[in-house]
């Protein structure tokens, strides 16, 4: 039966796994109890714990090896299972020969040696360890030094301390087992101290019990008395089996936890001293062997040679310490440089490079991932008006809020400028959308920057990492979705859809053509007449920009105005419209005198209102054209008025200059009495959707809104203009409601400047 899968795409092992641990630990307790109450003819029961514990440990390794893991980790536990099989064979052989036990058995030693050899190879090829050829050669030389020293010591001990009736084969096997145990202890110890292995570190440390038991058993089998020899012979394999079971259990627990960040390198200087310890031990052995047959002169020479060797070793130890301290400093500096390279200095968040690496790692590991890209709307305005220091302060607060709202597994980053992102460990669209809403909600409250309380908005884009995608592609898709959210009205989020990419390409092409069109003079203004509904005379004109593309033909404003706003082309486009409309009104006034309309209406986008020099630009245009500020009416939407304090300050400055301000499409936005009282408005333009609803039998709700707007304008002493009048009935009812001015196709469509001049001499409305 297969294991259930975890969120990372690899099967998550079921909870539990304690049964092999309990069985092997129980085997040890049984053996200990047997040692306390045993009889001389009951050896079979003493050796029974070995096969039981080894079977439990081997089964635990087999279970963890059957979980679908990264290939190197899977190979590690497969080899550990094979190690358990070799040692299980040794335990079974020992059990079968229990009543014929005469010391160290070659039949038991051979499978034990095979298991030790495979165990050493397994740890030398431990997954996740990265080393250079020089470091590998150094490790081999260290191992060779320790092996030779251990071999000499064990060989001497075997021949000196082993019982006289011990065979040569048994002596040789004992020495080899002892050397293998020492090598294994060094290998496992160094692996357990390494921070860069894919296998759980705690599981590796538990495995050090195996070589310790082997070395102890070998020594006592050779030099111990009958009681200690018996205790170790029956306890060593249960201990090893329990170590296997516990380590497999710890690895299973580690797989059930989320991946922890890399730990700093542990202090491994003790292992670097092992060759020197081996030299010292071998020197002691030389002294012990040679001192028995040396005279005084020979002892003097040996002592002098040892002193020289000691001085050389001491010097090498000092050099090793200096190198260790220098290397530690270099590693600290390298870690600091890596931290600086992967983090943002201003906010302390990870940066774009760290985000890209983390996202790529999740994609490569087939783990679910999504990118949430967040852009602060109109951040440039804050920098331009309050200065870079205030902008930095705000970005820092944004980072704090994003970090605070992130849940486990989510990683907030600053990509640069006013762009942030969150790496989401999910491929569920609903979960990603929930995270986007949570992030935007965290940024909704006002920010305190100095003495200013700033209400800003953010737009977000979501992109799910599809199989085979690269990190750059996912981030680019999130960027496309974010711009789609901005086009939809900002302060919102959008999830990437494939069609958005083509829309982005189309918009980019249209933006390039629009830029060229502005330069080539492909745009022109039409003028929508605004009439006095009481007298029927022309009262004003609304300037409307149109684009006649040489290849596309007529391009709707609904298509190119959003592109202009998103790309910033609305600023030069709007400047051209303002200058052209004012210039045209000045020409009409010069030609027609008193018969000329009183004012011209120009629509201004919020992007223009955020430009620092917009007020000065309007003043310059009025001065150049010779118009009075009262001849210009700037139309803005309700959403522009509530966009931020900078826009309101710009509008207030225009009003103080004498320019009249009109709220366009009134009734469709965030209208409120407090807004009208705070905003220096002069004209309310009723949206066409309410005009459509005032015919006979129409929606009573729309009719009530239309009447209320007229009454509101009258009480606030504002002009009320009705848009989109399409028939005589609408005109009559609007006039009866109190609307003095109106515009619509019923009276006139938008016309070129020359045609508008002809209208000024006509009387198109018969009231």
Q: What is the pLDDT of residues 95-128, one digit of tens each?
A: 887 666 545 566 777 887 788 778 777 776 665 5
Mean pLDDT of all residues in 601-611 = 91
For 392-429, b/e burial (b = at least 16 CB within 10 A) is ebbbbbbbebbbebbeeebbbbbbeebbbbbbbbbbee
The reported pTM is 0.53
Largest CA distance in the chain: 141
Residue 266: its pLDDT value, please?
Answer: 47
Q: Using the predicted structure, report yes or no on whether residue 265 has a pLDDT greater than 70.
A: no
Question: Among 262-271, 578-587, 667-676, whose mean pLDDT is lowest?
Answer: 262-271
264: pLDDT confidence band, cut at 50, 70 and 90?
very low
Residue 617: its pLDDT value, please?
Answer: 96
Q: Using the predicted structure, report yes or no on whether residue 468 has a pLDDT greater than 80.
A: yes
Residue 753: its pLDDT value, please?
Answer: 93
The more confident residue out of 649 and 294 is 649
* DSSP assignments along 474-541, one per residue: HHHHHHHHHHHHHHTTSSSEEE--HHHHHHHHHHHHHHHHHHHHHHHT-EEEEEEEEEETTT--EEEE
Kindly report, residue by residue over 527-586, the tens digit of the pLDDT: 999 999 998 888 999 999 999 998 888 888 988 998 898 888 999 999 999 999 999 999
272: pLDDT confidence band, cut at 50, 70 and 90?
low
Contact 670, 698 (CB under 8 A): no
Tell me what the pLDDT averaged over the chain comes to. 79
668: pLDDT confidence band, cut at 50, 70 and 90?
low
Contact 529, 748 (CB under 8 A): yes
Range picked from 493-507, 519-533, 584-598 for highest mean pLDDT: 519-533
Residue 387: its pLDDT value, please?
Answer: 81
Residue 271: its pLDDT value, please?
Answer: 55
- In this structure, the strands spanning 458-464 and 599-603 are unpaired
Range picked from 143-152, 199-208, 600-609 for highest mean pLDDT: 600-609
294: pLDDT confidence band, cut at 50, 70 and 90?
low
Q: Using the predicted structure, report yes or no on whether residue 304 has a pLDDT greater than 80.
A: no
Residue 322: its pLDDT value, please?
Answer: 79
Contact 366, 425 (CB under 8 A): no
- Residue 730: closest CA among 743, 713, 720: 743
For 614-650, b/e burial (b = at least 16 CB within 10 A) is bbebbbebbeebebeeebbbbbbbbbbbbbbebbbeb
User: How far apart, in whole angstroms, are the C-alpha atoms of residue 660 and residue 326?
Assistant: 73
The more confident residue out of 132 and 62 is 62
Residue 186: its pLDDT value, please?
Answer: 59
The more confident residue out of 224 and 86 is 86
Kindly report, residue by residue over 29-47, the tens digit of the pLDDT: 887 777 777 655 566 677 7
602: pLDDT confidence band, cut at 50, 70 and 90?
very high
Q: Using the predicted structure, report yes or no on whether residue 1 has a pLDDT greater than 90.
A: no
User: How far apart, in whole angstroms, are the C-alpha atoms of residue 237 and residue 439?
Assistant: 56
Residue 6: its pLDDT value, please?
Answer: 43
Mean pLDDT of all residues in 437-454 = 87
Mean pLDDT of all residues in 361-369 = 89
Kindly report, residue by residue over 422-435, the tens digit of the pLDDT: 999 999 999 999 99
> CA angle 545-547-551, nearest 5°?
180
Alpha-carbon Rg for the chain, nearest whole angstrom, is: 43
How far, in Å, are 146, 370, 471, 496, 563 from residue 502 at the CA level?
Answer: 67, 21, 20, 12, 14
Mean pLDDT of all residues in 575-604 = 91
% of the chain at pLDDT higher than 90: 29
Q: Using the predicted structure, report yes or no on whether residue 681 has a pLDDT greater than 70.
A: yes
497: pLDDT confidence band, cut at 50, 70 and 90?
very high
């Amino acid at each position: 039966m297969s294991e259930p899968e975890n969120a990372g795409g690899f099967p998550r092992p079921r909870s539990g796994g304690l049964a092999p641990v309990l069985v092997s630990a129980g085997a040890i307790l049984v053996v200990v109890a047997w040692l306390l109450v045993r009889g001389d003819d009951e050896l079979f029961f003493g050796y029974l714990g070995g096969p039981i514990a080894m079977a439990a440990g081997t089964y635990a390794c087999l279970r963890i090896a059957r979980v679908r893991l990264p290939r190197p980790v899977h190979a590690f536990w497969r080899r550990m299972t094979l190690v358990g099989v070799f040692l299980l064979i040794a335990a079974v052989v020992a059990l079968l020969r229990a009543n014929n036990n005469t010391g160290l058995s070659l039949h038991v030693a051979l499978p034990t040696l095979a298991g030790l050899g495979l165990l050493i190879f397994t740890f030398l090829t431990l997954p996740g360890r990265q080393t250079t050829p020089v470091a590998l050669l150094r490790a081999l030389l260290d191992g060779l030094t320790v092996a030779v020293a251990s071999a000499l010591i064990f060989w001497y001990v075997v021949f000196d301390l082993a019982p006289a009736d011990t065979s040569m084969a048994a002596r040789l096997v004992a020495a080899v087992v002892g050397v293998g145990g020492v090598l294994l202890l060094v290998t496992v110890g160094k692996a357990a101290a390494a921070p860069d292995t894919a296998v759980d570190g705690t599981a590796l440390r538990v495995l050090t019990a195996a070589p310790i038991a082997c070395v102890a058993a070998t020594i006592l089998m050779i030099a111990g008395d009958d009681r200690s020899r018996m205790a170790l012979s029956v306890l060593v394999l249960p201990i090893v089996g329990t170590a296997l079971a516990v380590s497999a259990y710890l690895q299973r627990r580690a797989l059930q936890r989320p991946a922890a960040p890399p730990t700093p390198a542990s202090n491994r200087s003790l292992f670097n001293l092992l060759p020197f310890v081996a030299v010292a031990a071998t020197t002691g052995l030389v002294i012990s062997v040679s001192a028995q047959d040396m005279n005084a002169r020979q002892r003097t020479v040996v002592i002098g040679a040892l002193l020289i060797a000691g001085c050389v070793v001491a010097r090498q130890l000092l050099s090793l310490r200096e190198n260790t301290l220098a290397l530690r400093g270099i590693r600290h500096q390298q870690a600091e440089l890596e931290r600086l390279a992967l983090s943002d200095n201003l906010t302390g968040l990870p940066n774009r490079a760290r985000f890209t690496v983390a996202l790529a790692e999740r994609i490569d590991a087939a783990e679910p991932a999504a990118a949430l890209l967040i852009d602060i709307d109109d951040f440039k305005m804050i920098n331009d008006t309050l200065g870079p220091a205030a902008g930095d302060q705000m970005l820092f607060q944004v980072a704090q809020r994003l970090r605070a709202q992130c849940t486990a597994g989510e990683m907030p980053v600053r990509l640069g400028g006013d762009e942030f992102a969150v790496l989401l460990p999910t491929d569920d669209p609903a979960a990603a959308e929930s995270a986007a809403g949570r992030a935007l909600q965290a940024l909704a409250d006002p920010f305190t920057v100095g003495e200013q309380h700033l209400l800003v908005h953010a737009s977000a884009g979501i992109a799910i990492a599809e199989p085979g995608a690269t990190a750059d592609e996912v981030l680019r898709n999130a960027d496309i979705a974010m711009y789609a959210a901005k086009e939809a009205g900002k302060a919102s989020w959008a999830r990437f859809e494939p069609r958005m990419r083509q829309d982005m390409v189309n918009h980019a092409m249209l933006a390039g053509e629009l830029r060229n069109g502005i330069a080539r003079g492909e745009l022109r203004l039409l003028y929508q007449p605004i009439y006095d509904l009481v007298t029927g005379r022309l009262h004003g004109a609304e300037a409307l920009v149109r684009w006649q593309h040489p290849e596309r033909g007529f391009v709707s404003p609904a298509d190119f105005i959003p592109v202009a706003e998103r790309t910033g082309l609305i600023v030069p486009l709007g400047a051209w419209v303002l200058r052209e409309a004012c210039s045209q009104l000045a020409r009409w006034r010069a030609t027609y005198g008193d018969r000329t309309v009183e004012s011209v209406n120009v629509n201004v986008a919020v992007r223009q209102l955020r430009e620092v020099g917009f007020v000065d630009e309007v003043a310059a245009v009025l001065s150049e054209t010779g118009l009075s500020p009262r001849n210009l009416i700037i139309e803005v939407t309700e959403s522009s008025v509530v966009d931020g304090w900078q826009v309101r300050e710009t509008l207030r400055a225009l009003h103080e200059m004498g320019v009249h301000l009109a709220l366009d499409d009134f009734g469709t936005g965030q209208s409120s009495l407090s807004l009208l009282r705070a905003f220096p408005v002069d004209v309310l333009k009723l949206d066409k959707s309410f005009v459509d609803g005032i015919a006979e039998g129409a929606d009573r709700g729309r009719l009530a809104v239309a009447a209320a707007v007229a009454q509101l304008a009258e009480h606030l002493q504002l002009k009320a203009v009705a848009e989109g009048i399409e028939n005589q009935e609408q005109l009559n009812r609007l006039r009866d409601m109190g609307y003095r001015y109106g515009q619509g196709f019923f009276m006139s469509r938008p016309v070129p400047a020359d045609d508008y001049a002809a209208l000024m001499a006509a009387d198109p409305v018969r009231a």
